[in-house]
Amino acid sequence: MSLRLGDTAPDFIQDSTEGKIQFHDWIGDHWAVLYSHPADFTPVCTTELGRTAKLSEAFAARNTKVIALSIDPVEAHHKWMSDIEETQGQAVDFPIIADHDRRVAELYDLIHPNAGTTGTVRAVFIIDPAKKIRATITYPASTGRNFAEILRVIDSLQLTDSHSVATPADWEQGDECVILPSIKSEEELKALFPKGWKELKPYLRTTPQPNR
């Protein structure tokens, strides 16, 4: 199943380290990050789960819940969580799905045969409260994720959902944004962007971040 931006994230019921989870109910009115791991007791994944736990306050500040997935069983997850706390200095405080029958892996197309026939790829799905997939990032098993980038994408999505702007290359919180080309009239520009704007080209106008 090939999932595209704007698709409804497939719902599922699956075991996890926090009991059975019905995914859409678990998301509730939050944003969510679902991210997959090739297997338990692997070095890159161990660092990733530790890093996620250290960022729990950053995700919570963005009304975002995080859930991880591996095809190993719950018992293995709990043993692995002890290793993560010991080596990364942080207890895992979010659920890890035990996708032992690969039900979720199939729903989200997480096994890519040309990369590997058993473990899942290192995928990220950013999902909004309406349960729509808003962004996806896929890494090979050998490359750990950049969690600053995942947070940056969430910041951009939440900002651009509520203001008529887009975020330019390398944008971070507090940087200038670009005004949507669909905003044409001077009156509308003044109403939407009271801090002013700069016109570099008719289609390229910058403005201070509206919610800062």
Catalytic residues: 45
Nearest to 194 by CA among 186, 182, 202: 186
Decide: 83 and 46 in contact? Cβ < 8 Å: yes
Question: Rounded to 5 degrees, what are φ and ψ at 189?
Answer: -60, -45
CA–CA distances in Å: residue 158 to residues 12, 47, 180, 206? 25, 27, 15, 18
Residues whose CB falls within 8 Å of the CB of residue 156, separated by 6 or more in sequence, listed in order: 167, 171
**Token pair of 196, please?**
């002013």
Decide: 47 and 83 in contact? Cβ < 8 Å: no
Tell me the C-alpha distance between 172 and 132, whole Å: 23
Decide: 162 and 211 in contact? Cβ < 8 Å: yes
DSSP label at 62? T
